[in-house]
Amino acid sequence: MDQKWWVLLAVGVGTFMSALDASVANIVLPVVSKDFGVGVATIEWVVTIYLLVVSGLLISFGRLGDLRGHKSVYIFGFLIFIAGSILCGIAPNELGLIAFRALQGIGAAMLFSNSPAILTQNFPPSQRGQALGLQATMTYLGLTVGPSFGGWLTTQFTWRAVFYINVPIGLLAVLLSQRMIPQDKPSNNAEPFDLVGAVLFMIGLIVLMLGLNQGYEWGWTSPIILSLLCIAVIVLGIFVAIESRIPHPMLDLTLFQRRLFSASTGSAVLNYIALYSVIFLMPFYLIQGRGLNAAQAGLLLTAQPLVMAIAAPISGTLSDRIGARLLGTMGMAIMALGLFLLSRLGASSPQSDVALALAVVGLGTGIFISPNNSALMGSAPKNRQGIAAGVLASARNVGMVLGVGLAGAIFSTVLAQLGNAPDALFSAVDAGFFAGSIVALLGAVTSIVRGSGQV
């Protein structure tokens, strides 16, 4: 077998592991909360701290990969992630678990910001979309398997097992990566790492993400949220001012002068806003509105990632032949249709209609994601692949938080306005889905203006 496929296998195992970990961690939160005797507001930081740390470090570790070699940073990230997983498994209390999840987040940021760069370097442009599509499939498989697998591990053993399972999978990924991924040469050892820029970006983005993440819980107009958002704007403004003036910036802002790069980044953010509005709202509709239990809801929700897993590699392979513009635009338009169908669901809609609408959302996302990722990575020069991968991963995280924030704000506002009306919950959920469909249509616009041609 050609070495590039071994590279894909090595990266795919790591991608599956990280997706599995992300999905199972959410599932066990109620069990962990009961075990440690703490409230939901406290235990939610197990997920929140991981998200904040990953988001703040993605571009920094992508840049470090450009300077020091992506393979080295990637493998070191695995070792940190495995160590964090072991420590999470033996955490004596909730504070320890939160701290060790932050350590896991450091390792995860090193993985997320270098894996697309490794694939881009080891696959020719004619197969880049196919490779990134297959990597996306591993992500969706991890997200699909995670909830049921995590529930089984917790039932058979304990919630700590969901962290221990990362150890054998992670060690396998390290072994494959060490043996199969070629040692890449750093782009330019003479270029210094922009530590000031890295710190400013980390602080600014973490504060921004914290404000966006907690806005629904603490209130969007509360003094603490407004203060966080103002601080983020000031710090990120200083970051941009500095980065535009120094010779070797942590984030090369000239990349955004390329229409293909900036349009692909914007499209990715809009895609994840729409996608995570679905992920946030569907449990309210299925469990609170329709009275399904968690297992029944989980089974119904698998329609979306399963279709995504099938569509992503096919679309990625096709994008290698016809480019990203048409597929990206079509994918976002189909996603908008799926969200519109979700917004038409009511209290008595057949479950087959729910599954169909989720499948349409999954089809649109699967068609969009691989060509868009390929276009973004292909539009960056070779010595900026780590930065491009970091931007891509940051777009996902920012879109995810914005999607939850937007859907949560609309849902809570409509619910408060309607009060005790019989169909208040369904109207609130439908309003959130409709807003998501508008966002997806905007994503179709940003996708079509990216330009035509092969990348």
* Residue 154 CB contacts under 8 Å (≥ 6 apart), including other chains: 27, 28, 31, 161, 162
* Total domains present in the chain: 3
The predicted structure's pLDDT at residue 330 = 95
Residue type, 350: P
Q: Do 362 and 439 fall within a single domain?
A: yes
pLDDT, residue 359, reads 95
Residue 188 has pLDDT above 70, yes or no: no
Residue 61's SS3 state is helix
**Together in a domain, 171 and 274:** no
One-letter amino acid at 362 equals G
Among the candidates 193, 215, 231, a domain finishes at 193
Q: What is the dihedral of CA 451, 453, 454, 455, to 10 degrees?
A: -30
Q: Are residues 285 and 323 in the same domain?
A: yes
| Mean pLDDT across the chain | 86
DSSP class of residue 66 equals: H
pLDDT for the residue 40: 65
Co-location of 135 and 201 in the same domain: no
| pLDDT confidence of residue 453 | 44
Clarify whether residues 219 and 207 are in a common domain.
Answer: yes
Q: Tell me how many helices (H) and strands (E) the chain has.
A: 19, 0
User: Tokens 């601080």 correspond to what residue?
Assistant: 231
How would you class 299 by CB atoms within 10 Å of its CB: exposed for 0-12, middle for 13-18, buried for 19 or more?
A: middle
| Residues belonging to the chain | 455
Residue 190 has pLDDT above 70, yes or no: no
Q: Is the pLDDT of residue 109 over 50?
A: yes
Q: Do residue 80 and residue 208 come from a single domain?
A: no
The answer to whether residue 358 scores a pLDDT higher than 90 is yes
pLDDT given at position 320: 86
pLDDT band at 454 (very low <50, low <70, confident <90, very high): very low
Which residue spans within 95-200 are E strands per DSSP?
none
Q: Which of 147-161, 329-343, 364-378 has the highest mean pLDDT?
A: 329-343
Distance, CA of 367 to CA of 271 (rounded, Å): 11
DSSP conformation class of 91: -
Query: Are residues 325 and 199 part of one domain?
Result: no
Residue 156 sits in the same domain as residue 271? no
Q: Are residues 243 and 383 in the same domain?
A: no
| 377 half-sphere exposure, CB direction, 13 A CA radius | 34
Check residue 364 and give its pLDDT: 95
369-419 pLDDT tens trace: 989 988 888 888 887 888 888 888 888 888 887 887 788 888 888 888 887
Residues 216 and 262 in one domain: no
Average the pLDDT over 264-274 and give the result. Answer: 92
Of residues 53 and 334, more confidence is placed in 334
- Would you say 4 and 126 are in contact if contact means Cβ atoms under 8 Å apart? no
Same domain, yes or no, for 71 and 34? yes
Q: Please tell me the number of Cα atoms within 13 Å of 56 on its side-chain side.
A: 23
- pLDDT above 50 for 314: yes
Helical H segments across 28-91, by residue range: 29-36, 40-43, 45-68, 70-89
- Contact assessment for residue 243 and residue 208, using Cβ atoms and an 8 Å cutoff: no
CA angle 179, 181, 184 (to 5 degrees): 125
Tokens linked to 131: 């490779």
Write out pLDDT tens, residues 406-451.
888 888 888 888 877 778 889 999 999 999 999 999 999 999 987 6
CA distances from 96 to 99, 103, 162, 392 (A): 5, 11, 16, 31
| Pair 136, 272 in one domain | no
The yes-or-no verdict on residue 283 having pLDDT over 60 is yes
DSSP result, 281-348: HHHIIIIIIT---HHHHHHHHTHHHHHHHHHHHHHHHHHHHH-SHHHHHHHHHHHHHHHHHHHT--TT
On whether the CB atoms of residues 267 and 225 are closer than 8 A, the answer is no
434 closest CA partner among 414, 455, 420: 414
Query: What CATH number is attached to the domain comprising 112?
Result: 1.20.1250.20
User: Which of 193, 217, 234 is the endpoint of a domain?
Assistant: 193
Q: Tokens representing 75? A: 């493998």
What does the alpha-carbon distance between residue 251 and residue 203 come to, in Å, rounded to a whole number?
15
DSSP per-residue string spanning 342-361 = HHT--TT--HHHHHHHHHHH
> Each residue of 38-83: pLDDT tens digit?
876 677 788 778 888 888 888 889 888 888 888 999 999 999 999 9
- Domain region containing 224: 194-249
Of the residues 174, 193, 212, which one is the last residue of a structural domain?
A: 193
Look at residue 244 and give its three-state secondary structure: coil
